[in-house]
Amino acid sequence: MAQHSSKGARFQAVTANRLSDGEVVYLTPDNQWAETFAAADITDGPEAGDALLARALPADFELHVLEPYLFEVLQDASHFKPASVREIIRAAGPTVRLDLGKQADAKRES
Amino acid sequence: MYRYDEFDHQLVGERVKQFRGQVERRVSGELSEDAFKPLRLMNGVYLQLHAYMLRVAIPYGTLSSKQLRMQAHIARKYDRGYGHFTTRQNIQFNWPALNKIPDLLEELATVEMHAIQTSGNCIRNVTSDQYAAAIDGEVEDPRIISEIIRQWSTFHPEFTYLPRKFKIAVTGHDNDRAAIKLHDIGIVIKQNELGDVGYEIHVGGGQGRTPLIAKKMADFVPKAQLLAYLEAVMRVYNMLGRRDNSYKARIKIMVHETGEVEMRRLIEAEFAKIDASQMLAVPPAEIDRISAYFASPEFETLPASSDVLEAAKTRDADFARWVRANVVAHKQDGYAIVNISLKPIGGVPGDASDVQMEAVADLAERYSFDEIRVTHEQNLVLPHIRLHDLKTVYDALHAHDLATANLGLISDTIACPGLDYCNLANARSIPLAQEISERFADLDRQYDIGELKIKISGCINACGHHHVGHIGILGVDKKGTEFYQISLGGSADENASIGKITGRAFTEETIVDAIETVVTTYTDVREGGERFIDTYRRVGLDPFKERLYAE
Ligand code: HEM
Ligand code: SF4
């Protein structure tokens, strides 16, 4: 499994790709997979992170998602955002096609 | 053009059916992801950042208009209205849903195309010269032998589980446009003093984290013995190639570690055994049969120049510039080779929309004997256009934003998908290509700079060929932030070379300025008619380093 978090990471969330269409999804507090980062369960502290990842691994998710992993999240002012460029792009869509991906869905909905 | 026979149809059809069953079993939970992943990869289905990606092979870079129209249809029906032409003469779709891919593949098979051999540790799609059968001075159409190799290698039981993927490229011309020295096997078609046609074989080139130029293993393998020779190379590799470490598993590492002389000895010993058995001799009748598919179009007898063309050039300066930059002399009087740049200023290198693909397909059908080529530099080619049709073709291309006059110039950048799409990426590639083309948008400035190949990869896998860019850019990741390393002096042609890294990496904010510094250093120190690569070879890295890292 890829490493997308660091040892010193404080806040973390779990992401994966949905089996049916590869859509980026996030594990929510009630163990669902949501399409938006805003719905992700975000944990504080390394042990809580491990526990979060453990919730993503049960075999029943094999039918829904691929390759779940932990990634680092930063808190700025009052809201959270992914720490790496990679996860920012996964949460939004290609930066060269703003008409595609989650960023476009968000625009359509608003 | 090659047409599937019954056997090919059956093979591809069965493979689609098989994959449909595999997808169903994955979705129903019968197959785990671990079991399914190698199966989907064998059918060209990757997982990227936002979605699945399907890679479709365009054998030796040749498409009919019907086939290109099918790509447009797939883009529209199964994807988001566009496709991405890659450095491996493939097309990639970035958004197909898994459960629709079997239907997609079934439609694709109706135009005799598939996604087999686009992934996995097999012999991949054979690539070739985009000017095949159109350029003067070619010994033989390289697609004939490419097709023979394709037939020999597809599903060859011995080569299904190689230590690593294996890439073969063929050119029939001394000017190498297929980057043959950067492939596991590179083949140059040659004619000897007796007038016989044979093959010069280079083995062990490649990019990725260990870029190496192939070593010449044979000067002249006679026609009938080619497959025996290739089989010998493959056997030596299959027996001795490393399987313990995927970074060391490519044949280039083996050639490097074994040494050129010993490698040649091993191949020749194996070749002698296979050749003696005559098992793999290619019968002349078979060569003739395949050659017939690539019979020359019925060119008209035309004068070598066209008044219509000359008049149009005088009237329309933009057209004249496009002719100068993108149109190449054809072997047949009265015809020309048209390059279609997929690098509009500020655009995504290699992307084409469904509508653009259909426009190109229509032009090919009407004006280019139904043929389109795709190039490893992520452009398209209409190989056989009459001189007096050039203006009409240009106008139609122009209407679809396909007439950028920048072939081989600084804005004709190769860029891999990078962190905008790719799961393995460290940094984005495409935005850099866009910024560079915008920085140097002025065509007169581009013509003044002259031939300059910038190639950008988002990680060390080097899908964007950065090692062989005159200017190469490699994306690196430092704690989740993008940085870019510059290398200079690479080249992918017959004088292939690997670029040298200038020094510490640049940030996203400073990299385009750094590229401009490299370019102005060149224009300041160049002599006479030197191209960038000539100047670099004369002065070396130092003058560039001094300017780049001056405090
Ligand atoms: C986005 C999905 C892609 C993935 C997962 C991927 C993966 C890889 C990997 C792992 C390698 C290194 C192999 C090695 O060194 O043994 C590689 C090499 C390469 N890929 Fe890709 N790639 C992708 C897209 C592309 C695209 C879009 C192109 C064309 C623009 C491309 C062309 C190449 C080439 C030319 C090489 C270098 C081959 C060599 O080592 O000589 N790939 N790719
Ligand atoms: S070079 Fe790296 S980032 Fe670019 S497509 Fe290849 S694997 Fe992805």
> Which pLDDT does position A64 carry in this prediction?
87
> Which pLDDT does position B12 carry in this prediction?
85
Both B223 and B289 in one domain: the answer is yes
pLDDT tier for residue B185 given thresholds of 50, 70 and 90: very high
Both B426 and B523 in one domain: the answer is yes
Both B361 and B422 in one domain: the answer is no
Both B135 and B275 in one domain: the answer is yes
pLDDT tier for residue A1 given thresholds of 50, 70 and 90: very low
pLDDT tier for residue A2 given thresholds of 50, 70 and 90: very low
On whether the CB atoms of residues B475 and B426 are closer than 8 A, the answer is yes
pLDDT tier for residue B52 given thresholds of 50, 70 and 90: very high
Percent of residues, chain B, with pLDDT higher than 90: 74
Percent of residues, chain B, with pLDDT higher than 70: 96
Both B434 and B340 in one domain: the answer is no
Reply yes or no on whether the pLDDT at B5 is more than 80.
Answer: no
> Which pLDDT does position B366 carry in this prediction?
98
On whether the CB atoms of residues B143 and B58 are closer than 8 A, the answer is no
Phi (first) and psi of residue B148, to 5 degrees:
-60, -40
Alpha-carbon span B455 to B186, nearest angstrom = 21
> Tell me: the pLDDT tens digits for B121-154?
777 778 899 999 999 999 999 999 999 888 888 7
CATH number at residue B34: 3.90.480.20
> Which pLDDT does position B1 carry in this prediction?
67
Q: What is the pTM of this model?
A: 0.93
> Which pLDDT does position B155 carry in this prediction?
65
Both B252 and B316 in one domain: the answer is no
Q: Which residues of A touch B348 (CB under 8 A)?
A: 96-97
Both B321 and B383 in one domain: the answer is yes
Both B94 and B195 in one domain: the answer is no
CATH number at residue B230: 3.30.413.10
B338 and chain A: CB distance < 8 Å anywhere?
no
User: For A67-82, what is the mean pLDDT?
Assistant: 91
Alpha-carbon span B400 to B397, nearest angstrom = 5
Q: B302 lies in a domain? A: no
**Strand order from edge to edge, sheet including B168-171:** B127-128, B168-171, B185-191, B197-203, B215-222
Q: Which residues are CB-neighbours of B310 under 8 A, at least 6 positions away?
A: none
> Which pLDDT does position A108 carry in this prediction?
66
Residue of B nearest to A89 (CA): B420
Between the alpha carbon of residue B10 and those of residues B7, B107, B512, the distances in Å are 5, 14, 51
A97 and chain B: CB distance < 8 Å anywhere?
yes
Q: B1 lies in a domain? A: no
| Total domains, chain B | 4
> Which pLDDT does position A39 carry in this prediction?
95
Phi (first) and psi of residue B269, to 5 degrees:
-65, -45
Find out whether the beta carbon of B464 lies less than 6 Å from any atom of ligand 2. yes
Which of the pair, B147 or A7, is modelled with greater confidence?
B147
CA-based nearest distance A16→chain B, Å: 10
Both B133 and B221 in one domain: the answer is yes
Both B34 and B103 in one domain: the answer is yes
CB within 8 Å: B97 and A20: yes
Alpha-carbon span B547 to B551, nearest angstrom = 9
Show the domain range for B81: 6-109
> Which pLDDT does position A33 carry in this prediction?
94
| Cα-to-centroid distance, B121 and ligand 2 (Å) | 17
Both B37 and B92 in one domain: the answer is yes
B410's tokens: 């600084």
Reply yes or no on whether the pLDDT at B276 is more than 50.
Answer: yes
User: For B530-535, what is the mean pLDDT?
Assistant: 96
User: For A32-59, what is the mean pLDDT?
Assistant: 90
| Cα-to-centroid distance, B168 and ligand 1 (Å) | 14
Q: B173 lies in a domain? A: yes
> Tell me: the pLDDT tens digits for B22-31?
999 999 989 9
E strand or H helix at B200, and its extent? strand B197-203
User: For B472-484, what is the mean pLDDT?
Assistant: 92
Residues of chain A by 3-state class (helix, strand, coil), percent to 5 = 30, 30, 40
> Which pLDDT does position A68 carry in this prediction?
92
Find out whether the beta carbon of B208 lies less than 6 Å from any atom of ligand 2. no
On whether the CB atoms of residues B372 and B360 are closer than 8 A, the answer is yes
Q: B250 lies in a domain? A: yes
Both B14 and B146 in one domain: the answer is no
Q: CA angle, B249 as apex, B244 and B251 as ends, to 5°?
A: 145
Alpha-carbon span B534 to B465, nearest angstrom = 20
Domain ranges of chain A: 11-109
Query: Average pLDDT over chain B, rounded to whole?
Result: 92
A6's tokens: 């660091």
